[in-house]
């Protein structure tokens, strides 16, 4: 399982990163107190379409990593 960090990339890179990810890979798309940033909308739409699973991982007090994982079985 690899982690692809696009937190500093421009808007529009989320879908490219997700398409290039292998099943089980994580796309780190934002770090902060709340889900936000240039990739939030694309991440939510991809999850609604069934292309990824979204979750967060605590980084410290009031800071979270927002992650999309490409499901196994998706190419």
Residue 49 included in any domain: yes
**68 vs 54: CA distance, rounded Å:** 4
Residue 75 included in any domain: no
Residue 12 C-beta-side C-alpha neighbours within 13 Å = 1
Residue 46 included in any domain: yes
Cα–chain-centroid distance for residue 61?
21
Domain containing 47: what range?
3-69
Residue 34 included in any domain: yes
Note the pTM of the prediction, 2 decimals. 0.91
Residue 65 included in any domain: yes
CATH number, domain with residue 63: 3.30.110
Residue 20 included in any domain: yes
Cα–chain-centroid distance for residue 18?
8
Give 14-72 pLDDT, tens digit per residue.
Answer: 999 999 999 999 999 999 999 999 999 999 999 999 999 999 999 989 899 999 999 98
């Amino acid at each position: 399982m690899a982690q692809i960090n696009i937190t500093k990339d421009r808007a529009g890179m989320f879908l490219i990163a997700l398409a290039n990810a292998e099943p089980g890979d994580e796309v780190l798309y934002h770090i902060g107190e709340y889900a936000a940033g240039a990739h939030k909308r694309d991440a939510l739409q991809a999850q609604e379409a069934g292309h990824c699973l979204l979750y967060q991982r605590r980084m410290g007090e009031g800071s979270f990593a927002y992650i999309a994982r490409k499901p196994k079985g998706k190419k």
